[in-house]
Structure 1
Amino acid sequence: MVVLHVRSAAPAASPSPPPPDGDEGTEFLYECPAASSVADVAAALGALADLQARLLSLCRRLRARCADARDAGELERALDEAEAYASKEQVQHNRFLSPRALREHIKNIEKKCATALQEPPEALSLQESLSDSKHERIQLWWAGKELAMDQKLCDYIGVNDKTKIVVRLMKASDKR
């Protein structure tokens, strides 16, 4: 399996404030076969980056609300666990992100939030729709080149499945 160290830039029109450290991009590790098509990899990376950004944004938005809650201990713990799982530090520890685990963290936060804040998740606008159409405009860059969507990953990196590369995930309208 090829290991992709994915770096993505934050969307320009993000509704949530940037994180306190000022770095708006996200990073994560992803594993796939070298024979995977670039289009499939780009779609999977786009979905994973969206889930990671959604989870981190949700945690930031709920931190302020937690201070006002009377029973915020469990919610604080859920937020801490979710932020730790989705953080860039997972890359340093060679841990891969799982879409299923990200969704589970989001569901857990929604459940704890409804209990602690005594409001339904819909009232807190926790649900965000994720459209698959925005994944069509994703570009993958490696070694200063845009990877063509009609190619296979092995056309660029070779057939060795023990390769690790750093790729940049960008929206088609972003400039390099």
Structure 2
Amino acid sequence: MVLLHVKSAAPAASSSSPDADEGTEFLYECAASAAVADVAVAIGALAGLQTRLLSLCRRLRARCADAGAGATGELERALDEAEAYASKEQVQHNRFLSPRALREHIKNIEKKCASALQEPPEALSLQESSSDNKHERIQLWWAGKELAMDHKLCDYIGVNDKTKIVVKLTQAHDER
């Protein structure tokens, strides 16, 4: 399996905190013979979930500061666990992100939030539809070259399945 170290730049306009400027990183594993389009879809979905979870944690931390410490103990623990799971430090420990685990963290936070803050998730606007769409049209870059969606990964890196590469994730431009 080829190990992809995915680096994603954060959008410049929508950063509300210093941590948001840094972008995200995670590890993804796939076969060398995988189609670039399939890899891009999987990486885009994973990046969208990671971004959504980290954004949710940031927004709820600000909300918890207003609510008081007594009512938000379980929520704080859930936020800490989710942030630790989705953080860049997982790359240093060679740990992969799982879409299922990211979704579970989001559901857990929404549940804890509803009980701790005594408000339904809809009232807190936890659902974030606009940021989920930004990872649908992406480009993958490796070694300064855009990976064409109609090629296979092995066209660029060879057939060796024990390869580790750093891939940059960017927004696709609709100029074609």
Structure 1 length as normaliser, TM-score? 0.91
Q: How far is the alpha carbon of 1:123 from its aligned partner?
A: 0.2
Q: How far is the alpha carbon of 1:72 from its aligned partner?
A: 0.6
Secondary structure, counterpart of 1:27 in structure 2 = strand
Equivalences for 1:69-88 in 2 at 5 Å?
Answer: 69=68, 70-88=70-88
Q: Percent identity?
A: 84
C-alpha distance after superposition, 1:16-62 (max 9, x if no partner): 51344x74210000001111100010111111111101100000000
Question: 2:109 corresponds to which residue?
Answer: 109
User: For 2:135 and 2:75, how far apart are their aligned partners in 1?
Assistant: 31
Q: Is the Cα contact below 8 Å between 1:46 and 1:135 reproduced in 2?
A: yes
Question: 2:43 corresponds to which residue?
Answer: 45
Q: How far is the alpha carbon of 1:131 from its aligned partner?
A: 8.0
User: For 2:131 and 2:34, how far apart are their aligned partners in 1?
Assistant: 23
Q: Which one-letter code corresponds to 1:159 in the other structure?
A: V
How many correspondences in the alignment? Answer: 172
Q: Which one-letter code corresponds to 2:36 in the other structure?
A: V
User: For 2:2 and 2:130, how far apart are their aligned partners in 1?
Assistant: 27
What's the RMSD between the two structures over aligned residues?
1.9
User: For 1:136 and 1:116, how far apart are their aligned partners in 2?
Assistant: 33
Q: Is the Cα contact below 8 Å between 1:114 and 1:121 reproduced in 2?
A: yes
User: For 1:59 and 1:32, how far apart are their aligned partners in 2?
Assistant: 29
User: For 1:168 and 1:114, how far apart are their aligned partners in 2?
Assistant: 36
Q: Is the Cα contact below 8 Å between 2:2 and 2:163 reproduced in 1?
A: yes
Q: Which one-letter code corresponds to 1:41 in the other structure?
A: V
Q: Which one-letter code corresponds to 2:116 in the other structure?
A: A
Q: How far is the alpha carbon of 1:129 from its aligned partner?
A: 2.2
Q: Structure 1: where are the runs of 5+ without partners?
A: none
User: For 1:111 and 1:138, how far apart are their aligned partners in 2?
Assistant: 31
Q: How far is the alpha carbon of 1:130 from its aligned partner?
A: 6.1
User: For 1:145 and 1:3, how far apart are their aligned partners in 2?
Assistant: 18
Rate the CA distance shift 1:76–1:134 in 2: closer, same or farther, 3 A.
closer
Q: How far is the alpha carbon of 1:66 from its aligned partner?
A: 1.3
Identify which range, 148-157 or 22-31, moves more after superposition. Answer: 22-31
Identify which range, 56-65 or 123-132, moves more after superposition. Answer: 123-132
Secondary structure, counterpart of 1:111 in structure 2 = helix
Question: 2:97 corresponds to which residue?
Answer: 97
Q: Structure 2: where are the runs of 5+ without partners?
A: none
User: For 2:130 and 2:147, how far apart are their aligned partners in 1?
Assistant: 24
Instruction: Please state if 1:146 is matched with 2:146.
Output: yes
Q: How far is the alpha carbon of 1:109 from its aligned partner?
A: 0.2
Structure 2 length as normaliser, TM-score? 0.91
Question: 2:55 corresponds to which residue?
Answer: 57
Q: Is the Cα contact below 8 Å between 2:139 and 2:171 reproduced in 1?
A: yes
